């Protein structure tokens, strides 16, 4: 008879603290658009929508960050993960570190609501920028003295 406890199992909700379990639960978020809400001491501090670029483990030099363009989740940044299944069968992930929490969900699709605004496509305003193309100099255009311009040519 073994004295070691059997591996835990969860159905639709739970709290996990093992880095391997946290990674396996978060892995479906990789390369997905998610909404996030950041809470400190129970008060919402920030929120947004972003693309999960990376999920890392055993890399203490890599930070966790949330931006509208890119999200990097380092499993080592959190004490534990709480998860629950919503009625629509999507999972709500709550990453916890001390009195701070990040709630992560797949970004809402379909009709916007007051609590969940419609996801917007990122647009980059190009009218304020100029495109420049740099080409190699022909042999005849090179300066005879390194470091000098072509003023005397």
Residues 72-124 pLDDT 10s = 999 999 999 999 999 999 999 999 999 999 999 998 665 455 554 444 444 55
DSSP state letter for 144: S
Residue 53 lies in a domain: yes
Whole-number pLDDT of residue 4:
72
Q: Which residues form the domain of 72? A: 13-106
Instruction: Give the pTM.
Output: 0.67
Q: Is 19 helix (H, G, I), strand (E, B) or coil?
A: helix
Residue 96 lies in a domain: yes
User: 144 or 133: whose pLDDT is higher?
Assistant: 133
> What is the tally of structural domains in the chain?
1
The mean predicted confidence, pLDDT, of the chain is 81
What is the end-to-end Cα distance of the chain in Å, rounded?
92
How would you label 80-99 residue by residue, b for 16+ Cβ within 10 Å and e otherwise? ebebeeeeeeebebbbbeee
Residue the block writes with tokens 């909700």: 13
Residue 142 lies in a domain: no
Residue 49 lies in a domain: yes
Whole-number pLDDT of residue 139:
56
- The secondary structure element, H or E, covering residue 54 is strand 43-56
Q: How many CA atoms lie within 13 A of 61 on its CB side?
A: 0
How are beta strands 71-74 and 43-56 bridged, if at all?
A: parallel
């Amino acid at each position: 008879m073994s004295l070691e406890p059997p591996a835990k199992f969860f159905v639709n909700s739970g709290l996990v603290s093992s880095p391997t379990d946290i990674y396996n639960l978060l892995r479906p978020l990789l390369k997905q658009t998610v909404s996030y809400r950041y809470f400190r001491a129970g008060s919402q501090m920030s929120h947004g929508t972003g693309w999960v670029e990376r999920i890392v483990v055993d890399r203490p030099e890599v930070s966790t960050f949330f931006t509208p363009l890119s999200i990097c989740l380092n499993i080592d940044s959190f004490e534990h993960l709480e998860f629950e299944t919503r009625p629509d069968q999507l999972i709500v992930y709550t990453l916890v570190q001390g009195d701070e929490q990040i709630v992560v969900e797949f970004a809402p699709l379909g009709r916007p609501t007051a609590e969940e605004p419609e996801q917007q496509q990122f647009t980059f305003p190009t009218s304020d920028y100029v495109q420049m193309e740099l080409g190699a100099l022909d042999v005849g255009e090179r300066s005879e003295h390194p470091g000098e311009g072509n003023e005397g040519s």
